[in-house]
Structure formats: C-alpha cells, structure tokens
Structure 1
Amino acid sequence: MAASAAADEVEVDGRTVRLSSPDRVIFPRPGYTKRDVFEYYLAVGDGIMRALRRRPTTLQRFPQGIEGEMFFQKRIATRGVPPWVETATIRFPSGRSADELCPADLAHVAWAAQMGTVVFHPWPVRSADTDAPDELRIDLDPQPGLDFGDVVQVAGLVREVADEIGATAWPKTSGGRGIHVYLRIEPRWSFVEVRRAAIAFAREVERRRPELVTTAWWKEQRGDRVFIDYNQMARDRTIACAYSLRANARATVSAPVAWDELPDVEPDDFDLRTVPARFAKIGDPHAGIDDTPFDITPLLEWSERDERNGEGDMPYPPDHPKMAGEPKRVQPSRDRDRKKD
C-alpha cells in the first residue's frame, strides 16, 4: 500500500486548517481525493457560506470515502477540536439537545472537509434563534417513472405560486433527481407554523396540477407524480445545502440555478469539477437570497382556510412525537378503521 502524503497546513479565513491524508480517495469512480473535496469547498466558499453561515449543521461524514462507513455527526466533541470552531445548541423533537457545528467562516467548512465531511445538512435556522426558521424549503421529489423534466414543470408551478403571494423563490438542483426551492422568511414563527405554511403552499401547487403533483405522505398514494415533501420543514429535518457535494458515484453537487436556465440543465451537469469553474465564471445565482425575506402570513391564512374546508394537518415523520391536531399516523392500507368505513 502506498504511503499517504504528508499533512498540509492551509490558511483559510485567517485560520490554519490541517489537511491530513490528502491523497485518500473519497469518490472512487472518478478518483477524487480528500484534497479534491477540500479544494472544491474552498473554490465555492462564498456560495456555501451564504448557505451555511451561522446555521447549526449536521455533517454527513465518510472518513474512508463514500464506499466506506458513513455517519451523521450532530454533536461536536469538545476534545480534539480547534478552539475557534463555533457551535450552536439545537433541540430535537424528543426534547434532547446537541451542540452542532455552526460555521462562522469558511475555515469551519474546510475543517469539516478535513474530518471527512462530504455533505452539509444545515438547519433552516440561525444561531441567534434556533427555534425560529428563516428559510421555507420546498423539496420536490419525483416518484419512480418520472424524469427531471417533470420536476422542472412542478418547479415552475412553485415559482408561479410564490410570485402571486409576493415571495421570491430560489431553485437549486438536489444533486439527484429532485429540485429544492427556497424562500427566505422572516424568523418570527415556530417550526409548527412554518410547516403549516409549507403544507398550505404545497396544497396550492397540487391543486393546479393534481395529475402531476401530490402532497400524499404515504407512498402507496403518490402514484407517478412529484411529491412535495412538506415534512422537510418539521423540526430536525434537513436538506443538503447549496453547493454541497452529494455522496454518489458521480460526485454531483446541489447547485443553485437561475430560473431561466432551469429548463435546459440536467443534474449531472453539476459536479465537483464543473461547479468551481461555473462559480468563477457566473458567480452565485443565489447571491440575492438574503435580500428578500417573506412574511408568511398569507400562507398561514391559507392554512386556516384549508382547515375550515376539512384539510387540516398532515402526518409528521415516524420518529416525531405525536402532535396536536395531527391525523392518524397509519398507512391507509393498514388502517383498520378506514377499512371498516
């Protein structure tokens, strides 16, 4: 076995970050190494910091590469961590808490990459108030049989609804077959309220193309439609951030795009090699995302209207405690009461 290259020391935002085992292969098929991952995140630094700054962040780590052991790190240890690494305390639905990495500068991202982090999963909150989301995330998840073009159609509907309520919508590829659309919002509502706003938004999109869009939580009810995963706004649910690599054989990136280019792109256009060059050429399509926070009051009013019309809350994720007003968390085909009716 060839000996690993000596560790490097790299200056990042005035911090010294140690890069050990830089030649370790992280993505075997293209042969991308730990150094490649490290340098990728430096190359898109302004963009990923726009997505991560002051956000508690779960790290998806692959110390031996994407074909080795993987784990999600939600707690930053106090030993062996540089003294400048900042954390923020987040609270899980169970009531337990954790101190997660909270990037204050690009050195935090570089340090995480040194620790084998491939994917960054930030919470939709800032450290100033970890109970008040400032980002409403719309996750468009195509069901089997659909292609990326179908998801692009639904993203267009999302933009249409956002425009009608005066919100600015920011799309990005998921790094897989889906699309994420973000709305920056004023951080003065709870997770429960923002999730209800997301449900109301998703239902409005579904009404416009019910043959193409679904909000059905249970897979057996979705059919060959694009599922809008409203539970991505439940507490402790996270999405790979803008400019995060994804842990797949192609080393794709969750890449911000402009609305006018979305119909002409494919997810595989964006990977560890292509995105830095794109970023250097055109900058960040999400550069203005923090300039237009949205007041979700119209969506909460839609939620109240829907509830009056018999469309109340929807099931939470299975590991979430039972919530007030939540319907039965039972798959329809296994619901004995439903069968009796």
Structure 2
Amino acid sequence: MASEAVILPVGGPHGEREVRISSPGRILWPEPGISKLDLARYIVAVGEAFVAANGDRPVSLQRFPDGIDGEQFFSKNPPKGAPEFVRSVMVVYPSARSHPQLVIDEPAAAVWAVQMNTVVFHPWASRAGNSDNPDQLRIDLDPQPGTDFADAVPVALELRSVLAEAGLTAFIKTSGNRGLHVFAAIEPVHEFLDVRHAVIAASRELERRMPQKVTTAWWKEERGRRVFVDFNQANRDRTIAGAYSPRALAHAPVSCPLAWDELENADPRNYTLATVPERLKTVGDPWADMHATPGTIGELLGWWKRDVEAGLGELPFPPDYPKMPGEPPRVQPSRARKPDPAAT
C-alpha cells in the first residue's frame, strides 16, 4: 500500500519547488498536537528570515524520527538522498578530521530537512565559503538552577553595553528555553580560537560588573544561583539552535530574535510555532540588518591579552576536545587531588 504523503510547494530564490512530506500526520509535539506537516508549513511561513539567519553555513540537524518524546540523533553529514538543490561543504573538526556538512541555501532545503525528521537546526558561526573563520560572535547566557529567564534579561542588557564598548553591535534572541543568545556580526578574519578568547574576555568583563548574577565557572558545582556565560559555545563545531529554529520542548517554542526594547517584557513561552509566523508579518525580522556593518574583535582580544598578563589564562575546553595549550586540568574541583601537607 502506498504511503501517505503530501507535496508541499515551497517558494524561493529559484522559483517554486515541490517537496514531498511523507507521514505528514505524524505528531511531533503531542501537547499542542503539532504534526510533521505543520512543522514543514511553519518553515515555509518563516522561510526567508530562517534562511537569512541560518543559510550559507554548515549546519547540524537534530532529528526526531518518532517525535520529540522519542529517540533523537544529530546528523552532521548530509542525509542520503538529498535533492540537487541541497549542497554540502567540507569542514574541519577539532580532531583535525574533515567531513561534509549540509548547507541550507533556500527554504526548500530546510523543508526537506523536516522531511528527514529534523526539528532543531544548529548552524555554525562561520560561512560555508570560509568555515574556519566565524563571522558571528555568539554568547550563550544559561540560567542555572534557582535562576530563570528573568535573571538573564539584565545580564543580557549589560552584555550589550560591554560589547558596545568593544565596538560591536549586539543582537538578541531567546534560546527557546530559559536562556538568551547574544550575537554580534564580526569580520571573518580570525579563527575560532581567537573568537573564543574574545568571548571569554567579554564574559569576564561581564562577570566583573555583575559578580552576584554572572559566572564563567565551567564546573557546575562552582556556578551557584547565577547565569552561566557558556564560552565554550564559541568553539569550532559547537553550535546553538539557530534563529527561528523550533526547539524540542513540550509547548513547541522557537528560538526567536527580539528587538532590544522588547526584551524586558518578553516571555519566551510566547514565541512558538503557532505565533512566530504572524509575528514576522507584523513586527518584521529584528535580525534583518545584523550583517550590514560587521565589527572586529580587536578590542576584545586586547582585553584577553590584558587578562592573561594579569594571570587569567585559558579556561577548560569541552571534554571531547584534544588537550589544548594552556588549558587547566580537566578535573572537577571537588575531585582534584589535594596537596599532601607532609610533602611541604
């Protein structure tokens, strides 16, 4: 018996394409009853803004074949059977191994990714044509237990000021959960490690200004009830959910760009697959001009150098990374071997 399917017309820069959606009635989000076809139609509705934010970048796909409550996996290489309008690009991972990753150039490519059961899209901070040099500085504000979205808001506002002092124009979006993501367009002339150091420099400055509210402590046992500035999201092959990407949470939220004057009254639960298409029609895309005037990270790298000279060096890398130069020991502080008093 032939499988149920829907042919969805998807407009784009090369005209209309027809994308086949199999099992269109499969429920991905049980609580609001959102189906695979509903998700595909959402991508069509936000397609132009979605591609502007996530297109022309290596992208990883977070796929949920049985809905958000089922098993999931990440696809870094393009799934088999990609249509001719879906391309890939070779990228280098931290292991020095090279591998192709999918690139989205038009809404139809993102809709095809939905056909492959993608729910969350994770774009790199660099472009496909220059994947070693990010053109975005990204800072992830992650509220820790005992804090929430409201605690992240004043932190984001102060971070905006910090970046402005460094000559960068900041943009903001909800994470789709409790956190916030702050971006700034930069000239793609520095490698990931330099951008990581720029992020650490900005994060440390933010922590100095708000020590009771902000932490850069990598180890959870040291963070307390503060907002963690996740500097490791600036590393090569580290990604966060893209702008306008859905999230795999019960109420079907979206990681939604905001204007800065919306932030203090924002409720992240209001930005969902059901509401964001109409928001784009009425409010527009707050990120439309992000890359109009990219800045440089020279000032932040100066702050990094200053901090290194003051004794503040490298911070821990993710556990799957090779050991990096100057990195402190990768051991939880409470488990670190204590000096033997008898040996002194």
Tell me the distance in 1 between the aligned counterparts of 2:192 and 2:5. Answer: 46
Tell me the distance in 1 between the aligned counterparts of 2:33 and 2:339. Answer: 53
Q: Which residue of structure 2 lines up, in the alignment, with residue 71 of structure 1?
A: 73
Q: Which residue of structure 2 lines up, in the alignment, with residue 7 of structure 1?
A: 6
Secondary structure of the residue aligned to 2:31 is coil
Q: Which residue of structure 2 lines up, in the alignment, with residue 31 of structure 1?
A: 33
Tell me the distance in 2 between the aligned counterparts of 1:101 and 1:39. Answer: 21
Q: CA deviation at 1:334?
A: 1.1
Q: Is residue 141–residue 228 contact of structure 1 (8 Å, CA) maintained in 2?
A: yes
Q: Which residue of structure 2 lines up, in the alignment, with residue 314 of structure 1?
A: 315
Secondary structure of the residue aligned to 1:307 is helix
1:76-91 maps to which residues of 2 (within 5 A)?
Answer: 76-77=78-79, 79-91=80-92
Tell me the distance in 2 between the aligned counterparts of 1:67 and 1:12. Answer: 31
Paired amino acid for 1:153: P
Tell me the distance in 2 between the aligned counterparts of 1:339 and 1:217. Answer: 26
* Change over 3 Å in CA distance of 1:211–1:187 after alignment to 2: same
Gap regions ≥5 residues in structure 1: none
Tell me the distance in 2 between the aligned counterparts of 1:312 and 1:69. Answer: 40
Deviation by residue 1:98-118 (Cα, 9 ceiling, x = unmatched) = 211101111111110111111
* Change over 3 Å in CA distance of 1:156–1:100 after alignment to 2: same
* Change over 3 Å in CA distance of 1:302–1:218 after alignment to 2: same
Gap regions ≥5 residues in structure 2: none
Tell me the distance in 1 between the aligned counterparts of 2:339 and 2:319. Answer: 20
Q: Which residue of structure 1 lines up, in the alignment, with residue 331 of structure 2?
A: 330
Deviates most, 90-99 or 204-213? 90-99
Q: Is residue 167–residue 296 contact of structure 2 (8 Å, CA) maintained in 1?
A: no
Paired amino acid for 2:193: V
Deviates most, 15-24 or 265-274? 15-24
Deviation by residue 1:48-76 (Cα, 9 ceiling, x = unmatched) = 11111210000001122112221100011
Tell me the distance in 2 between the aligned counterparts of 1:105 and 1:338. Answer: 58
Tell me the distance in 2 between the aligned counterparts of 1:11 and 1:180. Answer: 29
1:252-263 maps to which residues of 2 (within 5 A)?
Answer: 252-263=253-264
Paired amino acid for 2:64: F
Q: Which residue of structure 2 lines up, in the alignment, with residue 190 of structure 1?
A: 191
Q: Which residue of structure 2 lines up, in the alignment, with residue 146 of structure 1?
A: 147
Deviation by residue 1:102-140 (Cα, 9 ceiling, x = unmatched) = 011111111101111110000101011111011111100
Asked whether 1:167 is paired with 2:184, we answer no
Secondary structure of the residue aligned to 1:276 is helix
Paired amino acid for 2:107: L
Deviation by residue 1:310-339 (Cα, 9 ceiling, x = unmatched) = 001100011100011111111111111468
Secondary structure of the residue aligned to 1:128 is helix
Tell me the distance in 2 between the aligned counterparts of 1:6 and 1:240. Answer: 28
Paired amino acid for 1:257: L
* Change over 3 Å in CA distance of 1:337–1:112 after alignment to 2: same
Q: CA deviation at 1:6?
A: 3.2
Tell me the distance in 2 between the aligned counterparts of 1:312 and 1:112. Answer: 41
TM-score under structure 1 length normalisation = 0.96
Q: Is residue 7–residue 19 contact of structure 1 (8 Å, CA) maintained in 2?
A: yes
Q: Is residue 5–residue 20 contact of structure 2 (8 Å, CA) maintained in 1?
A: no
Q: Is residue 4–residue 22 contact of structure 1 (8 Å, CA) maintained in 2?
A: no
Tell me the distance in 2 between the aligned counterparts of 1:304 and 1:292. Answer: 26
Q: Is residue 315–residue 327 contact of structure 1 (8 Å, CA) maintained in 2?
A: yes
Asked whether 1:205 is paired with 2:206, we answer yes
Q: Is residue 4–residue 24 contact of structure 1 (8 Å, CA) maintained in 2?
A: no
Tell me the distance in 1 between the aligned counterparts of 2:205 and 2:34. Answer: 43
Q: CA deviation at 1:232?
A: 0.3
Tell me the distance in 2 between the aligned counterparts of 1:207 and 1:140. Answer: 16
Fraction of identical pairs, as percent: 53
Paired amino acid for 1:62: F
Q: Is residue 27–residue 33 contact of structure 1 (8 Å, CA) maintained in 2?
A: yes
Deviation by residue 1:151-194 (Cα, 9 ceiling, x = unmatched) = 00100111111122221100000000000000111101011100
Tell me the distance in 2 between the aligned counterparts of 1:35 and 1:338. Answer: 60
Q: CA deviation at 1:294?
A: 1.1
Tell me the distance in 1 between the aligned counterparts of 2:340 and 2:255. Answer: 42
